[in-house]
Amino acid sequence: MLIEFGAGVPNDATKLLVTCTVLNALASGSGILLTPFAGTSLSELEAMAKAAGLDTEFRNHLVVTTHSGGILEDDINVLPLDFMEIEEDMRKYQRSRKALEDRTQKGTLEIVGVSTVVSRYGWEAYSRDLNISAEMTKAEGALTIRLATSEKTEVLEKISAISDIHIGLQERCGTILFYGVKPKTQFYHISWKVEDGMPLPTLVPIV
């Protein structure tokens, strides 16, 4: 799945969508491998998880990729990567995913901030990895959500081509619009509410 954020979509809306996705996956007992999107804060995610009563799931079921420098290797919440050779880091990534699946006995949700990965390895290296990653996701019946901004047309076209679902978010007159690019849908307004500490989105059709 590709979620495309238009240039006017504020960072707070992006962070809220990521937080909502993470918390709902944790509540279902799934493992999550998160490559942070710009503005994602592990401490904020942890605070929201605690507020929702998911602090145990947060500690056991969420792993965030980060640079290996200065990070304790035994910290269960981080996957230290060197950001040098994508092939070597992907082997570490797949081992971490397998460990999560063994721990949860469920599939792992992967959330990937595309701009983060491209800045680490370059577009050419990431582009090569995309096809392999997409094939593995489909073969295993798993779900990968890639988060990207709309500035890089070449990047979006490539990721959209290997994604079964492509969702767009645009800002119009202070309102965040949600719509399907693939498959095509009508436009929706996103309304948010919090129940029992969980942020829940509601899609309101725009007629």
Q: What is the pLDDT of residues 80-129, one digit of tens each?
A: 888 888 889 999 998 999 999 998 998 899 999 998 899 889 988 888 88
DSSP helix/strand/coil, 191: strand
pLDDT band with cut points at 50, 70 and 90 for residue 45: confident
Q: What is the DSSP string of 49-75?
A: HHHTT-HHHHHHHEEEEEESTT--TT-
CB 189 within 8 A of CB 178: yes
CATH superfamily, domain 2-205, is: P-loop containing nucleotide triphosphate hydrolases (3.40.50.300)
The pTM of this model reads 0.88
Whose tokens are 């599939």? That residue is 107
Residue type, 170: Q
Burial class (CB in 10 A: 0-12, 13-18, 19+), 98: exposed
Per-residue pLDDT at 68 exceeds 70: no
162: Cβ contacts below 8 Å, ≥ 6 apart: 130, 131, 134
